[in-house]
Structure 1
Amino acid sequence: MEETEETNNHDISAKRYKRKRKKTFLKNARKYAKKGWYGRGSQLDAETYQYFVRILEVYREGFENDDDKKIFVNNVFQQTENEEVKCSCNQVGCRVVEMLLPFANDSVVERYMNAFSEELRPLCADRLASHVLEALLGECCKRSLDKDTKDDVKEKFKGYTLKISKFLLNNLEDYVWDVYGNHIIRSVFRNLAQLPNVDRKEVKNKSKEVTAELIEIPNDYAEVLQDYGERLLAWPQFKELPYSELTSAMLQILLRALSKCNTKILKKYIKKILDECFCTDSDPNNSFTRCQKLFKSTAATMLVETMMEIASPKHYTQIYAKCFKGHVCDLARTKSTSFSVQKLLTYCKEKVEFEEMFEELKGFDPIISAGNSGVILALAEGCKRFATKQGLFVQNISSGFHCESEDKQTDLLICLCKFVNYGLLQELNIQNYEKEKFNLHGTLIVQHILEFNKPIKFVNAILGMDTADLKGLFSNTMGSHLVDSYMTSKFIGEKSREKLIRKLQGTYQDLASTKYGSRSFEAIWNACNMKFKINIMDELVYKDAAWSNTEHGKIIASKINLVLYKRNKEEWKSSLNNVNKLKELTDLLQ
């Protein structure tokens, strides 16, 4: 009966999980086609709609090479000739065009430029075609800056980029408060300033972001951004902009763009937003009263976070003094405002200011009780960055988690990893550290503490753990990263590292054979001298088939050259010394 009940519960959970899963765009497109609904927006005939659905299917399957992809894209755009606007105003057609436009040749992009120019005003506010217009603007701007593009072609793309940008500038009142027009304005800022696309869910390639940062912004583009900046700065409704999600997001991107090309106007924005939008109460001596409206609005708090990120040290000080000073602790305790405090601490540029904030926050109890682990993490990062208040931070952590006494050092380590106080930890009664779910912020805090100037309390906590528990902690998905900090911290002595290496003897086979344990093993191995490496190898060669044939064990066995060690120990030593010498030489050259 119990098994049946458990099975039923499992089935119910599985069904609930399935219900929560959203259908993909492609599945919905097929489903609506069967019902005779051919997408939202402009109506396509059944044949054209089904053609676009097949395009989505083929694209999802991928291509063998770039040439096949190029032929495929050209064929698709041939089918949309003279129907560019109609296809872009259909739900499925819009998705296909937006998806393939970055791979289209210059003549296709030019065709879409001409087609959209004829009906620009309605298309800017169209819920579907506006997405294609954003993609088109991005492609034109990118190709206008491409060094490999011919000058006459670059001028065409540049001209169209400026045309769209200036059209929206001249009709700013119509589109700032329109959802779709507002997003195109954001695209204008992002493309003219060559900012990475922060609105996209896809993770951008970091090298592409760096490249974007290095591209010089043409004077024509910088002038348009300046015009936007001056125009919005003079708006009668300027005070309303930070408090709407739509316009706050637009201002955030504009400020980032101005930080790249016009810091003079950026300073004016920061001053005006602070004085006229955020600090509006008549009482000049009470910053919290003056800024209550700011911290009650999610849109406004996100704007102030962006301002702190891009502000100069002088303007950061003004933001801190006018919006936060004297009330950092109150804001840190509240869930909705704690993230702003994290940003405040993260972007702090002066040691004196950080120390002031620390003094306000030094009673960690209410912050820990509220579960705002990110604030404590930001404090730990600041203590490490400025090399200040580190001893006081550890004291406050100990009292905050109710682990002040010396015999609770190990408990404090686990309390932090779980981010629960001592009483709750005792109730949890953890048996298997390897499978335990730890708190990300908590484990990161421990890593920072291990890199403090005097991390002895946490060093002793790790060395004082039971070997089986320590092996489990170092085999945990988050716990495995603690070894990196322990082995690389310049404030943890060689003797402490050796103690850990010796303490883990007898566990190296188990560590090497698991996914996260093998990470820990590698960190320990890289920090070992030859004597300890030989000891570890002697342990590993005993019944090595048990671990070296596992998925992760094979990788470790290859890295430490287990086969050579078993065949010839002296030759293995010689090869290892050569590798170490090469590594030292590489480090010197860098």
Structure 2
Amino acid sequence: MGAQKKKPQGKKREAEGQPPKSPDEGSTPAKKQRKGAEPLPTQEGKKAPQELQIPRLDPKSVGYFRRVGETLQQPFESDEEKGIFIRNVFHEVQGNELPLATDMSGSLVLQKLLAVATSVQLCRVVAALSKQWQAVCCHRSGAHVVQTALLQFPRLQKQQGAEEEEETEEEGEAEPVGTLEDLVLGLCAELKGKFLLYNKDTHGSFIVRTLFQVLGGTVLSQDTGRKAAKGPTVASEFEVPESFLHQLQELCGCFGDHVGVFATHKVASLGMQVALRVLQRKMPPVCAQLCDQMIEYLASRNVSAESSSLLVFLKDETSSRLLERILEVSEKKQLRRVFKAHFQGQLRALAAHPIANYTVQRLLSAVQTKKLFAVLFDELSPGLEDALAKGHMGIITTLADTCKRLKCRQRELLSQLMEAFHCAAPLSRQVASIPLFLSLLTYEVYYNKEEEEEPSEHQGDADRKLENVNYHGSLLVQHLLHFEDPSVALKSLGSLTDADLLTVACSQAGCHVLDSLLGSATISDKQRKKILRRLRGHCMQLACNKYGSRVLDRMWTASTLGVKEEIAQQLVEKLHQLQNDPVGHHIARNFALTHFVKRRKDWEEHQLGENKRRKMFSEILED
């Protein structure tokens, strides 16, 4: 079958679970297609030897494996039937692993097969691919096959013993293969010999990053960009043998031989970033040592008497991302040492830079002590208006988030924000702060006024409507509502007109402001109700809006039976319209409005039961 293999004779396929007809059945074996062969990836400037070219699948084999992929998408009558089918397909894979793994469509099928393969089946495929590791790992399709195989380790490591004996007996003719652990260690040996080559290659770097995660027993979340820093970073963790941790440490030792490349090369830098995240969880001392090594190297380039040479790298996109990762994984003492040596006195200039401002954000997020944060805050806070003018709102929102997290400098931040948005004085202007924050506009711009030497008193402008809610503005207000004293933000939020409050509730960014209002531990129920009561008269508009319906649903969950009856009564007046609305029909179903109309007593009992259950669970969680 495929490129070079002839199907063994005298072996009957089980009738049940028979795979699609092999392209070799009833025909002569297809010849190798030398014209379509792909050259083996090599180091830059060197020509690949002719004999190491990658063969391609012939058209019949491509069609066969396409049908296999389609069959795998269909449900099987039993697990046994599926197992027989997969075993038979793996017979056809034997001898064609390399062309299949490097074929665009064939590799997708092979990935599906490996995801459900037994340990022996997977080891046979990986053993065949290991004869040409570089050809597969540096191939755009092959790299994904190797990644899929590596990520099966946690699933298969416990199964290997029993399955190996059983399958080896069934397939006595096949050559014995090593364990999955042996094959992973073999890949480690390959990488150590060509560490820089793999890391600089787009697809090879992909394998290096996956291998670091498997060796450390830590599979990271797929999103590794700047937004990932704010969310969960680990998808799963599992036990690994000691040999893996030993290899992880040895591989990470290879970074020291080419520190400059990993600091500046866009692709190679990614491998080091993943290594740091894994080491932080599994080997903190090794992680700290690697961070120190990188910082020391960067700080020693182009030494200037005026400032640390590290600042030059902070303004480079590739180096700054690596430095962001170093800050995220640094320990308390290490972070303080790095700040004092390289950042102190430079924060405002860095916050104004289009690239370096992201590193300042990561520094703020990484701070774990009030003492260090106070130093950062005092240096950064006078420049909030500059950050606003340059559109670097991430600096402001991260500063607010850190104030909330560490419960430190909250009053001072609010005061600086008022100054930056020109609503600190006179005091009457403070009531207008929330619309300014939400729209990220200063007082004069928002109300279309000329800037004055002596700011005038605030006069409410009924014609000025809140037109939209900015994403970063929403984040800022959310953090302010979680402050120890949210009274200023609450007073301003409560002063919004009903129309503006509805605009906030029905916008993608703004609806989360009301989530914070409902979820903040520093806001009393009385304060919440005072604001939310004004939305009850707009239940129909909320129910038929994608984002407003979320707010209405949260209000419903937090409401007493009397309030729920008031909301339901409003909605049933336009029940038919609500049920026909693409968004509203979900509200009609979730609030059981049909029961409210036809079986009122049952509806009341159900809602009382729901309220009791929620109260009970909230008390359990608080305990």
**Taking structure 2 as the reference length, what is the TM-score of the superposition?**
0.77
Deviates more, 1:529-538 or 1:186-195: 529-538
Alignment correspondent of 1:85? 98
| Distance of 1:39 and 1:432 partners within structure 2 | 68
Alignment CA distance shift 1:535-1:148 (3 Å): farther
| Distance of 2:524 and 2:196 partners within structure 1 | 64
| Distance of 2:599 and 2:343 partners within structure 1 | 66
User: Does the aligned pair in 1 maintain the 2:220–2:235 contact within 8 Å?
Assistant: no
1:112 aligned to 2:125?
A: yes
Which residue identity does 1:238 align to in structure 2? V
Deviation for aligned residue 1:390: 1.6
Question: Deviations 1:87-111 (Å, cap 9, x if unpaired)?
Answer: 3334443444345422334343232
* Structure 1 segments unaligned to the other structure (5+ residues): 1-36
The root-mean-square deviation of aligned C-alpha atoms, in Å, is: 3.7
Deviation for aligned residue 1:385: 1.0
Which residue identity does 1:109 align to in structure 2? L
Equivalent of 2:191 in 168, 180, 202: 168
User: Does the aligned pair in 1 maintain the 2:219–2:235 contact within 8 Å?
Assistant: no
Alignment correspondent of 1:212? 236
Deviation for aligned residue 1:344: 0.9
Equivalent of 1:506 in 529, 532, 537: 537
1:585 aligned to 2:616?
A: yes
User: Does the aligned pair in 1 maintain the 2:393–2:472 contact within 8 Å?
Assistant: yes
Equivalent of 1:145 in 157, 174, 183: 157
| Distance of 2:478 and 2:563 partners within structure 1 | 24
Which residue identity does 1:45 align to in structure 2? D
| Distance of 1:257 and 1:346 partners within structure 2 | 19
Deviation for aligned residue 1:494: 3.4
| Distance of 1:580 and 1:373 partners within structure 2 | 40
Alignment correspondent of 2:386? 366
Deviation for aligned residue 1:117: 3.1
Alignment CA distance shift 1:484-1:176 (3 Å): closer
Alignment CA distance shift 1:423-1:147 (3 Å): farther
Question: Deviations 1:305-360 (Å, cap 9, x if unpaired)?
Answer: 11222222122222322332221111111121111111111121011111211111
| Distance of 1:122 and 1:440 partners within structure 2 | 45
Question: Deviations 1:264-317 (Å, cap 9, x if unpaired)?
Answer: 222221221122223545457x5x432133213222211121122222212222
Deviates more, 1:496-505 or 1:309-318: 496-505
User: Does the aligned pair in 2 maintain the 1:63–1:69 contact within 8 Å?
Assistant: no
Deviation for aligned residue 1:374: 1.3
Residue aligned with 2:219, SS: coil
Deviates more, 1:557-566 or 1:300-309: 557-566
Equivalent of 1:467 in 488, 498, 501: 498
Question: Deviations 1:237-282 (Å, cap 9, x if unpaired)?
Answer: 3344212123321211222222233222222212211222235454
User: Does the aligned pair in 2 maintain the 1:279–1:323 contact within 8 Å?
Assistant: no
Alignment correspondent of 2:271? 250
| Distance of 1:40 and 1:91 partners within structure 2 | 12
| Distance of 2:615 and 2:61 partners within structure 1 | 63
Alignment CA distance shift 1:40-1:313 (3 Å): same
Equivalent of 1:353 in 365, 372, 386: 372
**Taking structure 1 as the reference length, what is the TM-score of the superposition?**
0.80
Deviation for aligned residue 1:74: 5.2
Which residue identity does 2:578 align to in structure 1? W
The aligned runs of 1:100-499 (5 Å cut-off) are 100-120=113-133, 122-126=135-139, 128-139=141-152, 141-143=153-155, 145-146=157-158, 150=162, 156-172=179-195, 174-198=197-221, 212-213=236-237, 215-233=238-256, 235=257, 237-280=258-301, 282-283=303-304, 286=306, 288-362=307-381, 363-404=383-424, 405-409=426-430, 411-426=432-447, 438-499=469-530
Question: Deviations 1:171-229 (Å, cap 9, x if unpaired)?
Answer: 4355444444443332221211123255579999xxx986732x223211111112223
User: Does the aligned pair in 1 maintain the 2:542–2:551 contact within 8 Å?
Assistant: yes
Residue aligned with 1:511, SS: helix
| Distance of 1:98 and 1:531 partners within structure 2 | 56
Alignment CA distance shift 1:137-1:556 (3 Å): closer
Residue aligned with 2:537, SS: coil
User: Does the aligned pair in 1 maintain the 2:474–2:510 contact within 8 Å?
Assistant: yes
| Distance of 1:431 and 1:69 partners within structure 2 | 68
Deviates more, 1:421-430 or 1:340-349: 421-430
Alignment correspondent of 1:11? none
| Distance of 1:81 and 1:95 partners within structure 2 | 17
| Distance of 1:53 and 1:147 partners within structure 2 | 29
Alignment CA distance shift 1:548-1:454 (3 Å): farther
Alignment CA distance shift 1:304-1:72 (3 Å): farther
Q: What percentage of aligned pairs have identical amino acids?
A: 24
* Structure 2 segments unaligned to the other structure (5+ residues): 1-34, 40-54, 166-176, 450-460
Question: Deviations 1:505-544 (Å, cap 9, x if unpaired)?
Answer: 4212222232221211122233334444444344344444
Structure 1 or 2: larger helix share?
Answer: 1
| Distance of 1:423 and 1:521 partners within structure 2 | 34
Alignment CA distance shift 1:277-1:565 (3 Å): same
Alignment CA distance shift 1:566-1:453 (3 Å): same
User: Does the aligned pair in 1 maintain the 2:438–2:474 contact within 8 Å?
Assistant: yes
Question: Deviations 1:101-156 (Å, cap 9, x if unpaired)?
Answer: 223343432322232233335544455534433333333x3355336763867971
User: Does the aligned pair in 2 maintain the 1:279–1:322 contact within 8 Å?
Assistant: no
Residue aligned with 2:547, SS: helix
Alignment correspondent of 2:578? 547
Residue aligned with 1:212, SS: strand
| Distance of 2:265 and 2:462 partners within structure 1 | 46
Which residue identity does 1:379 align to in structure 2? L
| Distance of 1:69 and 1:159 partners within structure 2 | 28
User: Does the aligned pair in 1 maintain the 2:498–2:535 contact within 8 Å?
Assistant: yes
Deviates more, 1:317-326 or 1:327-336: 317-326
Between structure 1 and structure 2, the one with the greater Rg is 2
| Distance of 2:602 and 2:106 partners within structure 1 | 65
1:45 aligned to 2:58?
A: yes
Alignment CA distance shift 1:87-1:536 (3 Å): closer
| Distance of 1:174 and 1:49 partners within structure 2 | 31
Alignment correspondent of 1:536? 567
